[in-house]
Amino acid sequence: MKANLIDGKALAAAVKKDAAEQVAALQAQGITPCLAVVLVGEDPASQVYVRGKINDCAQCGIQSRSVRLPETTTQAELLAQVQKLAQDPAVHGILVQLPLPPQIDEKAIIEAIPPEKDVDGFSPVNVGRMQIGEPCYLPCTPAGCIRMIESTGTQMAGKHAVVIGRSNIVGKPAAMLLLAKNATVTICHSKTENLQELCASADILVAAVGRAGFVTGEMVKRGAVVIDVGINRGADGKLHGDVDFEAAAEKASWITPVPGGVGPMTRAMLMLNTVEAARRAAGV
């Protein structure tokens, strides 16, 4: 391996330390940030994610409120829960863990979260504000990716950044945030022609595909910064990224591992957004 490792765990620890210091300062003013986490059903991966977020809150001194609802919850019942949290002044951030069961319209639920409590940054208002560069809550995974690139000292301005994936929660916002850093951005997706060549010309390569080992060594430019967002559980029960790590690390200058890369940073960024929500609610 020639590349330097971007240590997501260490960076996340630093971000959470920063969040904890901000929480302490807010508490001195009588404000305790509070995040409500809503989980519908028993999806094992979602349960792990929710537990992680609640632990992170405890580490940072953020209060958490866990709302667990059965798999059979109706759209109306979930909407009522979200509206209750929306109206509760003690709750600063609301996170509804996705995916939701099929009887529930995800879009309607996300839209029911008031923009000022939308710490996931998924609501149309926050997405629009990000697009035009207005203050907003940035979606945690792409914001974490940018922090990771910044941590390497790499200048993004003028560089060719290629994002593989165009989902609303990762690919598209990652591309927008890279553009905001003045990178020249290419978005690749399932219909892209010449994907290999495009990736091989990337100074910064962000993979958010959801396929283990999708990015091969040949797709990595020598000296590139490689950010692997993918989380894929292999037949071996282990987590794998979208990037063939060993091959890519031979050519990249910097690379994120999976696990221990983007995942911990995503969770840490959620803590920062929650602190910010509490600060804005209190007008301090």
Residues acting as catalytic residues: 53, 97, 120
Is residue 262 close enough to count as binding ligand NAD by CB under 6 A? yes
Q: Kindly tell me which of 41 and 210 has the beta carbon lying closer to ligand NAD.
A: 210
Which tokens in the block code for residue 256? 């994120």
One of 39, 162, 169, 199 touching ligand NAD (CB under 6 A) = 169
Amino acid at 39: L
Angle between helices 124-131 and 171-180 (to 10 degrees): 30
One of 64, 126, 141, 274 touching ligand NAD (CB under 6 A) = 141
The 18-47 site mask, x for binding ligand NAD (CB under 6 A), equals ------------------------------
Is residue 61 close enough to count as binding ligand NAD by CB under 6 A? no
C-alpha distances in angstroms, 210 versus 47, 116, 229, 233, 250?
A: 20, 30, 8, 10, 22
Which tokens in the block code for residue 14? 């630093």
* Residue 137, φ and ψ in degrees, nearest 5: -90, 120
Is residue 263 close enough to count as binding ligand NAD by CB under 6 A? yes
**Which residues from 213-252 bind ligand NAD, rule CB under 6 A?**
229-232
Minimum distance between the CB of residue 171 and ligand NAD, rounded to whole angstroms? 5
Q: Give the sheet arrangement for strand 225-228, strand by strand.
A: 4-5, 254-255, 225-228, 204-207, 160-164, 184-188
One of 46, 75, 152, 167 touching ligand NAD (CB under 6 A) = 167
Is residue 59 close enough to count as binding ligand NAD by CB under 6 A? no
* Residue 74, φ and ψ in degrees, nearest 5: -90, 165
Minimum distance between the CB of residue 207 and ligand NAD, rounded to whole angstroms? 8
Nearest to 120 by CA among 140, 98, 100: 140
| Binding range to ligand NAD, per CB under 6 A, among 77-85, 176-184, 244-252, 262-270 | 262-270
Cα–Cα distance for residue pair 262/230, rounded to 1 Å = 9
Q: Kindly tell me which of 115 and 259 has the beta carbon lying closer to ligand NAD.
A: 259
Minimum distance between the CB of residue 144 and ligand NAD, rounded to whole angstroms? 7
Minimum distance between the CB of residue 255 and ligand NAD, rounded to whole angstroms? 14
Angle between helices 140-151 and 171-180 (to 10 degrees): 40
Burial class (CB in 10 A: 0-12, 13-18, 19+), 193: exposed
| Binding range to ligand NAD, per CB under 6 A, among 50-58, 63-71, 106-114, 204-212 | 204-212
Q: Kindly tell me which of 195 and 278 has the beta carbon lying closer to ligand NAD.
A: 195
Nearest to 188 by CA among 173, 169, 175: 175
> Site size for ligand NAD, by CB under 6 A?
23
Is residue 109 close enough to count as binding ligand NAD by CB under 6 A? no
Which tokens in the block code for residue 146? 């940018």
Is residue 190 close enough to count as binding ligand NAD by CB under 6 A? yes
3-state secondary structure of 50: helix
Cis omega (within 30 of 0) for bond into 70: no
Contacts with ligand NAD, residue ranges (CB under 6 A): 141, 164-167, 169-171, 188-190, 192, 195, 208-210, 229-232, 262-263, 266
